[in-house]
Structure 1
Amino acid sequence: MKYPVKPDLYPWHEVYPAFVKPEMSYAEMPKVEIADIGCGFGGLLMALSPLFPDTLIMGMEIRLKVSAYVHERIVAARANGNGCQNLAVTRTNSMKHLAKNHRRRIISQALLAEYAYTLRVGGMLYTVTDVLDLHQWMVEHLDAHPLFERIPDADVADDPCLVAAMTKTEEGIKVARNSGDKYPAVYRRIDA
């Protein structure tokens, strides 16, 4: 995987051609506001696109074939006039800097520091899992981080991002089909 040295060297005009023109400087461009880390087959991306048509959304997936599939899904939706101009996917390893223990966990103190660095103040971080132990792990680490505050579940029950995260991902659909439980937690990035 190749990573650009800095964000303004990424080919934004190629992945968001309806929003970014080649002649635009990085400062002029709209920025990605929603990231789906470990986007899988893109179910959440496709659900979020019409909810936030003027917001750039980036899916991140480590698996080559899966990220290629999501890319083709986006291209096909655009070609068929089904929107998705605000979507892109990149093959990346979001966990490459994690410590040796719990490498496969998408939430850790090390990675939370990167999320806090990346998210603007007021930005939201959503977690949903069907594994109670993992949910407790994520909540414990997020609660302990000084730059994230949990939003009460009742305050986000109708949040369209949370609803989509719980119902439109491949995993969420599978859990619902099997009548399983889902454990959400939503956090806001706060100022230091």
Structure 2
Amino acid sequence: MVTEGKKKAHRAQYQKSKAQDGLAQLPRKRFYRQRAHANPFSDHTLTYPASPDAMDWSTYFPDYVQDSASDDVSPKRLTKDVEVVDIGCGFGGLLMALSPLLPDKLMLGLEIRSQVTAYVQEKIWALRTQNPGGPYQNAACLRANTMKFLPNFFRKGQLSKIFICFPDPHFKARKHKARIISTTLNSEYAYALRPGGIVYTITDVKSLHEWMVEHLDAHPSFERLSKEEEEADECTKVMMTETEEGKKVTRNQGEKFVALFRRLEDPPW
């Protein structure tokens, strides 16, 4: 059994190795384990911007920082905006797979669990060091509570893709208010997603799949893509095979339920 003390000692040694000689060692997942789910209604210690314009992305995407005549400009601007978001990114399998697939897009994993966020951040750093000037420079992860602070990070119509992969089912009826797909949250996704953008959903729980389809179908800003469109989307294939939960379902010979929804144009006033 790996104790919390051993976890801290490993992470301290890992950070020391980075500082001393820039070793690009991939972090070991067993030192970053945490409970499978976190309560989104708890008051977690989180840092978030007052508005999207106040967010400093420069530390997350250093290769995309704009050249400026003054180094005192704050927050520093990027040459392009974050466009792809993985909500509840877990250990980052989808991010790592999408980064080389979508090299011209900045993508961000949002994860509420602190240890899991730290693991993904360390893995991205190691992969960037191993691939200088190559893939993974366009991927990043930060700790955030999407249910509370999504509009603090993204402007209206900024995103082109939102991934919601194997979210917590919250089986009990009294827990349904904590589901990441809901009437209220769907309006926030519609706000951040540009017309033509896609919400990708996948789960191995049929009742949750039906819930997500029902709530997104009922929202006037979304329409479901056909099966043919789903299967033709290369991101769907990655979503089904590269997430940690997806691999676990495959090993257990379980079923995966997929639904994609397109953001519609807003009607004229």
Q: TM-score, normalising length from structure 2?
A: 0.67
Which of 194, 202, 219 is the equivalent residue of 1:145?
A: 219
> Is there any run of 5+ residues in structure 1 with no aligned partner, and where?
none
Please tell me whether the aligned partners of residues 204 and 249 of structure 2 are also in contact (alpha carbons under 8 angstroms): yes
TM-superposed CA distance for 1:96, in Å, is 3.0
% identity of equivalent residues: 52
Equivalent residue of 1:36, what SS?
strand
| CA distance in structure 2 between the partners assigned to 1:4 and 1:57 by the alignment | 18
Structure number, greater radius of gyration: 2
Please tell me whether the aligned partners of residues 150 and 187 of structure 1 are also in contact (alpha carbons under 8 angstroms): yes
| CA distance in structure 2 between the partners assigned to 1:69 and 1:28 by the alignment | 24
| Aligned: 1:115 with 2:189 | yes
Equivalent residue of 1:113, what SS?
helix
Q: CA RMSD in A?
A: 1.9
- AA in 2 matched with 1:174: K
Which of 94, 99, 110 is the equivalent residue of 2:146?
A: 94
| Aligned: 1:21 with 2:77 | no
- AA in 2 matched with 1:129: T
| Aligned: 1:127 with 2:201 | yes
| CA distance in structure 1 between the partners assigned to 2:67 and 2:50 by the alignment | 18
Equivalent residue of 1:39, what SS?
coil
> Is there any run of 5+ residues in structure 2 with no aligned partner, and where?
1-45, 150-173
TM-superposed CA distance for 1:102, in Å, is 1.8
TM-superposed CA distance for 1:103, in Å, is 3.5
| CA distance in structure 2 between the partners assigned to 1:103 and 1:190 by the alignment | 25
TM-superposed CA distance for 1:19, in Å, is 1.4
| CA distance in structure 1 between the partners assigned to 2:89 and 2:202 by the alignment | 13
| Aligned: 1:9 with 2:54 | yes
Please tell me whether the aligned partners of residues 33 and 55 of structure 1 are also in contact (alpha carbons under 8 angstroms): yes
Moved more, 82-91 or 133-142: 82-91
